[in-house]
Amino acid sequence: MIIKYTNFSDGIHQIIFDEPVEKVGLEDLFFGNVHVDCKMDKSQHQIILKCEAVVNSKMVCDRCNYEFNTQLNSNFQLSYIFSKNPVVSEDYNVKYLTADQDKIDISKDVYEYTELSIPMKKLCSDDCKGLCPVCGINLNQGRCNCHLEKINDIWEPLKKLKSNN
C-alpha cells in the first residue's frame, strides 16, 4: 500500500487501496480484501493522511463458541513532516520524510490499526444467549429443559426455608 506522494500536487486527494489481507500480513482471523480509503492532505511542509480500513473477519464467539463473520473498521490519522535531516519520531502517528524519499508505505499502519480493532470480547451478537452450561445446546438456536430448571432454581432457597419449618 504505497503512495508515491511526489506524483500528487498540493491539496486534498482521495486514495483507495483494495488488497488481499495476506499482503499486509493480516492472517488467521481475516479473509478477503482489506479496503482502505484515505484522504491525503498534502502541503508544502507536511502530508496528513486520514484513513479508514475495513476488513472481513471470521471469529469464534466467546459466549456460544460459534464461528461468525463480521467487519472490522478502524480509523487512523498519520502525519508526515518534510525534514532536511532524518529524524526518528517518538510518536507512532508522526513520521518524517527526507528529500530523497518519494513514497509512503501504509501497509504496517493498516496492519497495526486492524489488529487493534479486534474486540477484547468477541460476540456473534450483543444479545448472544450462549450455551446451556448443562447440556451444551446453543441457546440462540433452541431451548432445553435444563435451562427451564435453572430458572426454577430461583425458588429453591424459598422451598428449603419452607421445608425447614
Q: How far is the CB of 117 from Zn ion (least distance, A)?
A: 19
Closest residue by Cα to residue 67 from 118, 123, 14, 26:
123
Q: How far is the CB of 32 from Zn ion (least distance, A)?
A: 22
Q: With respect to Zn ion, which residue has the nearer C-beta, 20 or 136?
A: 136
Instruction: Point out which residues bind Zn ion (CB under 5 A).
Output: 61, 63-64, 124, 128, 132, 134-135, 144, 146-147
Q: How far is the CB of 156 from Zn ion (least distance, A)?
A: 17
Q: With respect to Zn ion, which residue has the nearer C-beta, 46 or 140?
A: 140
CA-to-CA dists, residue 53 to 5, 72, 75, 86, 160, angstroms: 20, 8, 6, 29, 58
Provide CB contacts within 8 A for 8, sequence distance 6+.
Answer: 40, 42
Q: With respect to Zn ion, which residue has the nearer C-beta, 29 or 38?
A: 29
